Structure 1
Amino acid sequence: MADTKHSKYSKLSPFELKDNLIALALSHTDRLMLNAGRGNPNFLATLPRRAFFQLGLFAVSEAELSFSYMSEGVGGLVRHEGLSARFHTFVSQNRDKPGAVFLGKTLSYVRDQLGLDGDQFLLEIVAATLGANYPEPDRMLRISEKIVREYIVREMGVQGMATEEVDLFAVEGGTAAMAYIFNSMRENKLIAPGDKIAIGSPIFTPYLEIPELNDYQLSKVIIEADPKAGWQYPASEIKKLEDPAIKAFFLVNPSNPPSVKIDDAGLEAIAKVVKKRPDLIILTDDVYGTFADDFRSLFAICPKNTILVYSFSKYFGATGWRLGVIAMTRDNIIDQAISKLPEKAKKELDTRYSSLTTEPRKVKFIDRLVADSRAVALNHTAGLSTPQQAQMVLFALFNLMDSRQDYNKALKALVRRRDAELYNKLGMPEKEDTNSVDYYTLINLEEVSRNLYGDAFAQWVLKTQNPTDILFRIANDTGIVLLPGSGFGVLHPSGRASLANLNEYQYAAIGTALRKLAAEYYEQFKKGKK
């Protein structure tokens, strides 16, 4: 495929390339630009947000109980005495407000179903909402961690594990989790320049880019999912993980952008590798797991080996809130690996963490993550802001208390209808894959060409058209912005479309526009044959 005027953009991160595509799409003022490039959802959970704002009003009224003699708007810290009674009065007086009603139910659920101290929960979440104190503990507020842990364990398909065996670190979304984990793995000698790490591909682009930075200089071993096998990892690819030189395996599950969860056979195959390689560290980013049916994380299959990253951003429509967690079991191979480091390395780490404790070797990796996130010296001010933690707790409770899972069903139906509309108008057969979550879709240019106009046309497209050029032409001719699949490690020419950020009729319009463009390419193909 020859170089073209847009070939220079092919090396850009897809998230940088999109700016050029958007500018081109917007250059035509006589039409609407449809940006299907970014995964920011256009839906969000309203009830837990209503609850947060009602909680804010109650919390401020509690603060005003102190210093009430002052007229300058000065309040004080939350008072424990009588807090529960005042809360019930507040809920009762606001029965016409759904958020307040939900708040009242959370106290009952936390106390009666989770078995936690209702008074302590109320004190913690009210104080957290005010944001008047540093996070304490810095890793995550105590009751908040227990509640979010229940959500994580359930949604990640963890069975047979005591929830008390799981530790959480509340972080500023999944991207912060990635940055913290890469950094702490390096600082704690778990990875070093030249080391091999395996990456499940296709994958969220930064997982491909970060290892190449001067900070890390890691050697990547790509574990390639097979599009012909429903984007599952073939046994031959998983077998690569048996290489003892591979220090860690990083993956996104369900995948980004194919949006397919690892099936049971794949999970079992990875589990068998871990039995052979008990030292293999796994990082699984499971942000899309809540969109899957019967989801099971590798955290559920290989808990001692796995660091779990989960973000509330997509499922609750909360990218602006920056809410995520890192989860680890208390008994894990990462802490074991640190304990087996050479004495010289241990002494270096003793010095690094000596300001935290008189026994730095006892500091667990998840707590080292917290310290490293603030360059250790600022550990005393570490932690996710407490109002963010309060909203995270309300999101988690919203899901836990939804016994019929109505919100979950609604979101799944929403993205799947959008997927069906796009492919129906594109003239492609409807996909049938129980492992697909349909948050994104990869529009395979070869597959579309073959389905619409046959093998010869598909081969002509592959031979004569540059995929990046096609994306620019789509943006220019139709106002539609797609991201290049190649930027996510996809080997075939394709465009990634998010199914989360536009409405059904707009996805229908995308399908129609792409089909029209394919017809124009076909006319070029026919002229060439003549």
Structure 2
Amino acid sequence: MSNIDFSQFENLSPFELKDKLIEVAKTTPDRMLMDAGRGNPNFLATLPRHAFLRLGDFAMQEAERNYAYLDAGFGGIPDGKGIVERFDTFVSNAGDSEGVRFLEKALSYAKDRLGIDKQEFLNELVLAFLGCNYPVPPRMLVNIEKVVKQYIAEEMYGPMPTTTNFDLFATEGGTASMTYTFQTMFHNGLLKKGDKVALTTPIFTPYLEIPELSEYELEIVEIRLDEKTWQLPQSEIEKLADEQIKLLCVVNPANPASVKFSYDTLDRLTSFVEEKRKDLFIITDDVYGTFADNFVSLFAKLPYNTLCVYSFSKYFGATGWRLGTIAIQDNNVFDDAMRALPEAQQLQLDDRYKTLTPTPRDIKFIDRIVADSRAVALNHTAVYRYHNKFKWRCSL
């Protein structure tokens, strides 16, 4: 394979190039191609799954400590008292279990790096595995959020100084993140029918289809990547000067081009938005960011304007788990735009969210996404598979 002249492929489209690379990879029969550039990766991370199963064994032991006098099939809700000591015994009896060793290291990481109390966290994980309580708070469990925040910061900020001054909402994958965000932007008057939405193209096909749905009827403005460098030319960035463009949607690294934004592209786009479009909403889908070295997200460069969508699906081969998250900074354009809505619209929104709090105007945009994802009334049931996020983050 090393004798192949790859320059012959330089003019191919991203889709055709992908097919050629797969064809070339098959010429080395003793090696299997790991492919994350398709709908479903052909690999998966085994270590976190081993750990998850062992966590399940321990969680079941904790549940079965109660109601032991009843017929088989009943257990109680663990209260966490003495859980660390029982876990230490569980570890001692586990022998050379790869999954149990991983759990030990993960709990140590949480305590030493993030300052999370071991008893509190272990009990949170046990209850989460058992699925015996509604999630509190509904966006994401308290300690799980701390862990995933650290992961997002490490993976999205590259060489830039990191921060964890943002909120997360655990979703059923990146698809749900996009769906929920669009819904809440419409519910809260941040988007309306006929508005323009800019998309960096070529892009994952659903991004082209969602705006044109009858419930949205948005006008698409293409911000085209250069087909040689797969970066944004300044002439394309300048299209964002149109104030009728309310939202910019980005997939970075690009899909299907599989190239991340260069630091130069990021700097030019950042300067333009900060100088001319401080009101611009940005959604960046960074699911492939973890495959790129020193990756920097727009979430790091333009924190005020950018909502980040991330999914564990591709990097960990976990598409079936539906593990995604929405991240949004504490200080953001979405909240500020809602506060600036006309009073008549504010009153309508007060009525929509009044069952959640006596002061609905204090509800942040991300918490409105949570509420809207469950038709507001079922807000307390929102988080989906929240416990699994710790598993994937600590496997790195």
Decide: shared fold, TM above 0.5. Answer: yes
Instruction: Quote the residue 2:213 is aligned against.
Output: 213
1:376–1:270 distance in 2 versus 1, CA, 3 Å: same
1:247 alignment partner in structure 2 = 246
Q: Deviation of residue 278 (structure 1)?
A: 0.7
Give the deviation of 1:37 after TM superposition. 8.8
2:388 aligned with 1:396: no
Maintained 8 Å contact 1:48/1:391: no
Superposed, 1:63-212 pairs within 5 Å as 63-157=63-157, 159-163=160-164, 165-212=165-212
Matches within 5 A, 1:49-448: 49-157=49-157, 159-163=160-164, 165-228=165-228, 230-275=229-274, 276-384=276-384, 388-399=385-396
Aligned residues, how many? 361
Contact 2:36/2:315 (8 A) holds in 1: no
Any idea what the Cα deviations from partners look like across 1:188-213, whole Å, max 9, x if unmatched?
10010111111111111111001001
Match of 1:398, SS state, is coil
Cα drift, residue 258 of structure 1: 0.6
Q: CA RMSD in A?
A: 1.5
Alpha-carbon distance in 2 for matches of 1:221, 1:197: 6
- TM-score using structure 1 length: 0.67
Alpha-carbon separation, structure 1, partners of 2:106 and 2:100? 10
Kept after mapping to 1: 8 A contact 2:284/2:307: yes
Deviations along 1:104-153, whole A, 9 cap, x unmatched? 11111111122111111111011100111111111000000000100001
2 CA distance for matches of 1:126 and 1:242?
A: 51
Ranges in structure 2 where 5+ consecutive residues have no aligned partner:
1-14, 16-34
Contact 1:199-1:221 within 8 A present in 2 as well: yes
- Measured against aligned partners, the alpha-carbon deviations of 1:354-397 in whole angstroms (never above 9, x if no partner) come to 1111101000000000000011111122221xxx2222111101
**Could you tell me whether the CA contact under 8 Å between 2:309 and 2:327 is conserved in 1?**
yes
Q: Of Structure 1 and Structure 2, which has the larger fraction of its residues in helix?
A: 1
1:413-492 to 2 correspondences below 5 Å: none
Deviation track 1:56-103 (CA, whole Å, cap 9, x = no partner) reads: 010001000010111322001012111000011111111311001111
Structure with larger RCO (C-alpha < 8 A, sep 6+): 1
Task: Provide the rounded CA distance (Å) in 1 between the counterparts of 2:59 and 2:185.
Answer: 39
SS at match of 2:308: strand
Find the residue that maps to 1:300 and give its secondary structure: helix
Rounded to whole Å, the distance in 2 between the matches of 1:258 and 1:80 is 49
Q: CA deviation at 1:160?
A: 3.2
Alignment partner of 2:387: what SS? helix
Q: Please state whether the residue corresponding to 1:248 is helix, strand or coil.
A: strand
The code of the aligned residue for 1:394 comes to K
Does the 8 Å contact 1:88/1:104 carry over to 2?
no
Cα distance in 1 for partners of 2:187, 2:36 equals 38
Instruction: Say whether the 8 Å CA contact 2:168–2:328 is kept in structure 1.
Output: yes
| Distance across 2 between alignment mates of 1:237 and 1:40 | 31
The amino acid of 1:256's aligned partner reads N
Q: Note the C-alpha offset of 1:289.
A: 0.2
Structure with higher Rg: it is 1
CA distance in 2, matches of 1:273, 1:243: 12
CA distance in 2, matches of 1:109, 1:334: 34
